[in-house]
Amino acid sequence: MSTIVEAEVEIEAGPIGLASAGVLMTPEEFDAIEEYDELYRYELIHGVLVVTPVPLEEEANPNETLGVLLGIYKRQHPLGSALDHTLPERYVYLPESRRRPDRVIWAGLGRYPNSRVDVPTIAVEFVSAGKRNYQRDYVLKRAEYRELGIAEYWIVDRFRRTMTVHRNRPEVAEIVVKEGEVYETPQLPGFVLPLSELLEAADAGRLPA
């Protein structure tokens, strides 16, 4: 989720990579891609291929920490069965786009989800530096995830030291969690998320200047 490279260019033969940014394609063409440069991640945004570097450690570390906390909740909490599954870096399917949240969470299904069919209950993004990234995470994805039917969208921002939660159900609300505070969601009864643990993991992953 670093700086996006976008430009409309003609589709090329062979594996896709950084030079493929801006290629126009249909969702079906995107879904059929088999060869790609693993140094980058790929999304389809309104028919345009967007190529970004893999997440920095400052983003990957807190994502891993969140996964561990969710796993502990599922295994140890009396109500942990509410969590069906969670995965990092999985696509969500919009009519003209393929977004790739940093983490998706399914809850309340009572079964293992089908990631191609079951809309995640919660989508999580860890903000990268740059004005365009803020616009994408705080505005564009919020609207897309709401349209898709995702119940909650969490934006973890290591720069502002906050987590912004956009709830779409059971009621529409925006909640800003500050450093030192915890967040509890009705989607995962009994799960308590201390924001400081995610921010500490982000700080630990910061490379020396």
Domains belonging to the chain, first-starting first, are 1-54 (no CATH), 57-204 (3.90.1570.10)
Percent of the chain with pLDDT strictly greater than 70:
92
CB-count exposure of residue 117 (10 Å: 0-12, 13-18, 19+): exposed
Residue 128 has pLDDT above 90, yes or no: no
pLDDT in tens, 28-79: 999 999 999 999 999 999 999 999 988 889 999 999 999 999 999 999 999 9
Residue 1 has pLDDT above 90, yes or no: no
Contact call for residues 195 and 178 (beta carbons, < 8 A): yes
Residue 9 has pLDDT above 70, yes or no: no
Predicted confidence band of residue 2 (pLDDT cuts 50, 70, 90): very low
CA distances from 33 to 17, 29, 36, 43, 64 (A): 11, 7, 8, 12, 27
Task: Give the per-residue pLDDT at 209.
Answer: 55
pTM of the model: 0.88
- Inter-helix orientation angle 195-204/57-76, to 10°: 140
